[in-house]
Amino acid sequence: NAGVTQTPKFRVLKTGQSMTLLCAQDMNHEYMYWYRQDPGMGLRLIHYSVGEGTTAKGEVPDGYNVSRLKKQNFLLGLESAAPSQTSVYFCASSYSTAYEQYFGPGTRLTVT
Amino acid sequence: AQTVTQSQPEMSVQEAETVTLSCTYDTSESDYYLFWYKQPPSRQMILVIRQEAYKQQNATENRFSVNFQKAAKSFSLKISDSQLGDAAMYFCASFTGGGNKLTFGTGTQLKVEL
């Protein structure tokens, strides 16, 4: 099992450009999450999904959109990137809400 | 709202010694779960230990154990016989069903010295 994978691992964008981060899991988990990690602030939840076709806002959703068209995939989109979105992005999945979340390796995004 | 506080930005421990990382949390819910995650330089987040709030017994995983003080809302991590591979950033996190999300602390950077 690959677990949770993220594509790409690194990306540099110019302000105003758009991009999509892809998260895939092969553990048949219902729940998937997107976090961002900034220095000194731990991880903060951007959006999450409790099942195929569902999404919900987390703690810091502004400037991001998500989609969960297939159970195994969870996409995070930036429509118009801003320097404040420079961060490391983590995807995670879990069998159930209170169970262990399995994390992907992260994507380092720089917006100039 | 949930909050998780880690008051030690950095800690150091000698190899083979024991170190305790502190964590306090605040939640108004009665049903919640607590976690310690490890993030080594590879950036991968790895679960170290999990504690259900309704269980009085402290969770243990090999060299890792917790001291869960529910009334004080404290959840510290003890690492025994520290090894070089334990050097990492450690995050405390809480989960409640009402919020349906993990809330992370700001992390403690652990250094292990020879």
* pLDDT per residue as tens digits for the range A33-56: 999 999 888 899 999 999 999 999
Selecting from A40, A88, A103 the residue whose C-beta is nearest the C-beta of B106 gives A40
Residue B98, pLDDT score: 65
CA atoms within 13 A on the CB side of A51: 1
pLDDT tens-digit series, residues B54-88: 888 899 999 999 999 999 999 999 999 999 999 99
Chain B hits for A90, CB-CB cut-off 8 Å, are 45
Instruction: Give burial (CB, 10 Å; 0-12/13-18/19+) of A15.
Output: exposed
Residue A103, pLDDT score: 95
What are A43's two structure tokens? Answer: 């991880």
**Residue A38 in contact with partner chain B when CB distance is under 8 A:** no
Mean pLDDT of the residues in chain A: 94
Identify the band that residue B99 occupies on the pLDDT scale cut at 50, 70 and 90: low
Q: Is the pLDDT of residue A79 over 80?
A: yes
Our CA-based measurement puts residue B46 at a distance from the nearest CA of chain A, in whole angstroms, of 8
pLDDT tens-digit series, residues B1-55: 789 999 999 999 999 999 999 999 998 888 889 999 999 999 999 999 999 988 8
CB A95 within 8 A of CB A30: yes
Query: Mean pLDDT throughout A83-107?
Result: 91
CB B66 within 8 A of CB B51: yes
User: What whole-number percentage of chain B has pLDDT above 70?
Assistant: 96
CA distance B79 to B66: 9
